[in-house]
Amino acid sequence: MFGFFKDKFNNLKQAVSNTANAIVGNVTNSVGQEEEFSEFVLDDMEDILISADLGVGYAGELVDKLRNQTKIKPADVKNYLKEEFSKTLWEAGNTELNVQDGLNIYFICGVNGVGKTTLIGKLAYKFKNIGKKVLIAAGDTFRAAAEEQLDIWSKRAGADIVRRDKADPASVVYEAIEKAKNENYDIILVDTAGRLQNKFNLMEELKKIKSVIDKKAPDSLRECMLVLDANTGQNGLQQAKVFSEAVNLTSVALTKLDGSAKGAIIFAIAKELKLPVKLVGVGEKMEDLKEFNPEEFIEAIFE
């Protein structure tokens, strides 16, 4: 833990309360009182898990393990799920945001409106707070006002920015890397335009930006992070698959967890894609970004 998020997860419990209800609340209410895991009870449980956005495959697997066994009773269902979810999160890999000495480049991608630019503003602020020299690369040269929005965030966070209105995003990133190397920056945060995963040209553009980073800064720590809106549920899994194929993702940030009842998508992503969630957005303010800690997340959902 390099611990720049010293603040406790005060609002985490509140942020996940709908998700907690959707899984733990509903499962314990309908299964917890039963004598045994009859087929009827198991079906019911599977339906609840699927509607909580856990995914059909994972929900089925969790229910199958309860079939034809006598050790786990319905009264233990909460503990059973807690242990299974913990295991899934740990198996998905290290959830810590990596930072090394020298240059660190965080490449942020995702579909439209999920919260990429906001995440970059919040992250810049966190890094500034631990004394890092932060440069933001305005790689969204597509949407009108995108660079302006990023400019506002960079000023708020006290970070520097490279922006070239309407230029090719890859060239903006190229220039940012040059500047970062010449002026000894610790961090580059690369914003990108929102793109639907089925838009071929835009996905190709993303690959091009990524390859500039890989070629120009091979020695830097490179994190390729997909931003997902917690409210998208299972569709987020589909997005993650396609982006992963295009740019080889290293992690996920889940935004808008506040109020969402579909936060269980975190488990589905960990299970299906073995991608660790590293950051969670729990509001619109600069401080509303949390380092994802599996234990705390599980506690917040199950307590």
Q: In the complex, which residues of this chain contact ligand GTP (CB under 6 A)?
A: 110, 112-118, 140, 143, 146, 194, 255-256, 258, 281-284, 288
> Which C-beta is closer to ligand GTP: that of 74 or that of 115?
115
* CB-closest chain residue to Mg ion: 117
> Which C-beta is closer to ligand GTP: that of 26 or that of 231?
231
- Decide which of ligand GTP, Mg ion, none touches 258; Cβ closer than 5 to 8 Å per partner kind: ligand GTP
- Decide which of Mg ion, ligand GTP, none touches 62; Cβ closer than 5 to 8 Å per partner kind: none
Q: How far is the CB of 189 from ligand GTP (least distance, A)?
A: 12
Q: How far is the CB of 57 from Mg ion (least distance, A)?
A: 32
Report residue 129 as tokens: 């707070």
- Decide which of ligand GTP, Mg ion, none touches 250; Cβ closer than 5 to 8 Å per partner kind: none
> Which C-beta is closer to ligand GTP: that of 274 or that of 285?
285
> Which C-beta is closer to Mg ion: that of 54 or that of 119?
119
Site for Mg ion in 239-258 (CB under 5 A): none
Binding of residue 117 to Mg ion (CB under 5 A): yes
> Which C-beta is closer to ligand GTP: that of 72 or that of 242?
242
